[in-house]
């Protein structure tokens, strides 16, 4: 394993957390300016310390890099064990980038308890990065569960009228699934003679019954987090009630925690069970793509529409995982990254409109291009990306998964490809009703175009959507060795 001269992973985790704690210390409700400035400095610093993970990364090996391993709780053989490969490095960079976006998005919008709001996102950023680089099972579990706390507070304190219900539903859904996963981790610890090392778990010789148990136990937590159909119902409520920043992080990063856990735990630890239950997982994924896409079309709330579209897009991710070919797997990972940028941008656009009109109902808008032409330019781009337009990141991920599905089974690929129509349907139907035509009412006629801060946020997201869409090899080249190693590992029967 490659090691690093500086503890870059520890810095990536704790720089935003420390800045979050400092923001809490200096924050004052009567003077929120210093808290905002320190939060921005902290988010930028958090992004800068993740950059060496890319610049110093060796793209020619599947070994873990930047490894840190030291004793944590020696009584139970727990270690502070961190490391990244060509898959996890991108999600750490995505997390630190989105944190900057969220701080800028809430700069003027959040009026009350500004320091607490900004600090919650900085601390959440560090915890999510911890999930992506933990190589000790219990350390992963601690980070994985700890992310619930800041997001619960964000939704419950700064959300909409039904924020308490949405926050509690979010918390209970994700926590209940995780309890069964904890049992699975303890079982793996026992089977590995007292080790929580993820690599050790991945090479255990488990029989078929043991693998089925592990698969179901891990799926209980990871499927909720994705979220997969039919345990997705917490997501629309959470998105509708969350503040704009909460929706951005929830869609862009938190949904990826469950997807990433499939790659790090479920598939490599229980490969035979994964193969035998692949048909079920593919069916559930296709239901999410087709059925939830149809549900999204009939929504009259913009946030709820985009929330349901997230469930459909995550269906492509889980579909790609269980095709068991490199094309489908890499397409799923690219779809995860793309969805992070596109969904974050869509929720930012909805937040921009909500800040002006204080409603998310589609029928309350109409003709905003007459008042906000700069904004609509971005809105069109992101809506097209959400629909999978070639040249945008939305196309690359879904198209690659479809290619992998055709390699697996032509009819599975055809059904997944046909479902792209629903993405175009709900994205363009919403765009038409909101942006085009004559000005629908006098409230719309008073809307002002985006300011410099909003322009910067939307511009950064637009750059990433186009860059990933035009140069996907920039991302895939780094993940090739890790994906190939994972596919080889999963292809080897442990029975």
Domain ranges of the chain: 288-495
Q: Write down the pLDDT at residue 45.
A: 95
Please write the tens of the pLDDT for every residue from 283-311: 999 988 888 888 888 888 888 898 888 88
Average pLDDT over residues 446-454: 85
Please choose, from the candidates 354, 394, 391, the residue with its C-alpha nearest in 3D space to the C-alpha of residue 375: 354
Residue 282: pLDDT above 70? yes
Query: ∠7-13-15 over CA atoms, to 5°?
Result: 85
Residue 234: pLDDT above 80? no
Q: Write down the pLDDT at residue 1.
A: 44
Q: Write down the pLDDT at residue 110.
A: 80
Please choose, from the candidates 136, 4, 146, 1, the residue with its C-alpha nearest in 3D space to the C-alpha of residue 79: 136
Average pLDDT over residues 395-407: 90
Please choose, from the candidates 215, 428, 247, the residue with its C-alpha nearest in 3D space to the C-alpha of residue 344: 247
Q: Write down the pLDDT at residue 4.
A: 52
Q: Which residue has the higher pLDDT, 82 or 440?
A: 82
Q: How confident is the model at residue 493 (pLDDT cuts 50, 70, 90)?
A: low
Q: What does the alpha-carbon distance between residue 257 and residue 264 come to, in Å, rounded to a whole number?
A: 10
Average pLDDT over residues 370-385: 90
Q: Write down the pLDDT at residue 364.
A: 84
Residue 128: pLDDT above 90? yes
Q: How confident is the model at residue 357 (pLDDT cuts 50, 70, 90)?
A: confident
Residue 254: pLDDT above 90? no
Please choose, from the candidates 156, 112, 95, 123, the residue with its C-alpha nearest in 3D space to the C-alpha of residue 39: 123
Average pLDDT over residues 347-354: 90
State the pTM of this model.
Answer: 0.90
Question: Rg for the chain (alpha carbons), in Å?
Answer: 22
Average pLDDT over residues 102-126: 89
Q: How confident is the model at residue 494 (pLDDT cuts 50, 70, 90)?
A: low
Average pLDDT over residues 166-188: 83
Average pLDDT over residues 410-414: 87
Q: Which residue has the higher pLDDT, 4 or 38?
A: 38
Average pLDDT over residues 474-485: 89
Average pLDDT, rounded, for the chain? 87
Residue 318: pLDDT above 60? yes
Average pLDDT over residues 106-115: 84
User: Between the CA of residue 234 and those of 30, 243, 258, 304, 359, what are the distances in Å?
Assistant: 35, 16, 15, 11, 21
Q: How many CA atoms does the CB half-sphere of 486 hold within 13 Å? A: 30
Q: Write down the pLDDT at residue 225.
A: 80
Phi-psi category of residue 193: left, alpha or beta, with phi > 0 → left and psi -120 to 50 → alpha:
left
| β-pair partners for 82 | 68, 134
């Amino acid at each position: 394993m490659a090691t690093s001269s500086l503890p870059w992973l520890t810095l990536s985790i704790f720089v935003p957390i420390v800045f979050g704690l400092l923001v809490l210390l200096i924050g004052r409700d009567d003077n929120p300016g210093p808290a905002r400035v320190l939060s921005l400095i902290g988010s930028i610093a958090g992004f800068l310390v993740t950059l060496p993970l890319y610049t110093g990364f060796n793209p020619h090996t599947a070994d873990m890099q930047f490894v840190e391993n030291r004793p944590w709780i020696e009584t139970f053989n727990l270690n502070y064990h961190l490391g990244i490969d060509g898959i996890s490095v991108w999600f750490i960079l995505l997390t630190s980038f989105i944190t900057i976006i969220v701080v800028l998005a809430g700069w003027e919008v959040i009026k009350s308890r500004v320091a607490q709001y900004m600090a919650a996102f900085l601390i959440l950023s560090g915890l999510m990065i911890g999930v992506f680089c933990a190589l000790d099972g219990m350390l992963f579990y601690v980070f994985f569960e700890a992310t619930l706390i800041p997001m619960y507070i964000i939704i419950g304190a700064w959300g909409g009228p039904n924020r308490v219900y949405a926050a509690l539903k979010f918390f209970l859904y994700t926590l209940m699934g995780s309890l069964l996963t904890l049992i699975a981790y303890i079982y793996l610890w026992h089977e590995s003679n007292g080790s929580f090392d993820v690599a050790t778990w991945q090479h255990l010789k488990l029989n078929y019954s043991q693998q089925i148990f592990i698969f179901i136990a891990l799926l209980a937590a990871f499927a909720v987090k994705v979220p997969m159909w039919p345990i997705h119902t917490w997501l629309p409520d959470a998105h509708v009630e969350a503040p704009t920043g909460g929706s951005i992080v929830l869609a862009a990063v938190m949904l990826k925690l469950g997807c990433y856990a499939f790659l790090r735990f479920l598939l490599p630890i229980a490969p035979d069970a994964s193969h035998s239950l692949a048909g079920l997982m593919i069916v559930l994924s296709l239901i999410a793509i087709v059925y939830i896409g149809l549900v999204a079309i009939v929504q009259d709330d913009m946030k709820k529409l985009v929330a349901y579209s997230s469930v459909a897009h995550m269906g492509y991710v889980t579909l790609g995982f269980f095709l068991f070919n490199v094309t489908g797997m890499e397409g799923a990972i690219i779809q995860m990254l793309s969805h992070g940028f596109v969904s974050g941008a869509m929720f930012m656009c909805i937040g921009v409109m909500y800040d002006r009109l204080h409603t998310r109902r589609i029928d309350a808008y109409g003709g905003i291009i007459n008042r906000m032409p700069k904004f609509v330019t971005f809105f069109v781009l992101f809506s097209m990306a959400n629909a999978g337009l070639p040249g945008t990141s939305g196309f690359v991920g879904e198209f690659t998964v479809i290619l992998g599905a055709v390699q697996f089974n032509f009819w599975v690929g055809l059904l997944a490809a046909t479902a792209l129509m629903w993405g175009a349907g709900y994205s363009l139907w919403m765009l038409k009703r909101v942006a085009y035509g004559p000005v629908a009412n006098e409230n719309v006629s008073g809307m002002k175009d985006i300011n410099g801060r909003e322009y910067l946020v939307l511009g950064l997201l637009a750059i990433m959507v186009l860059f990933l869409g035009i140069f996907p090899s920039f991302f895939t080249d780094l993940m090739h060795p890790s994906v190939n190693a994972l596919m080889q590992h999963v292809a080897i029967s442990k029975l």
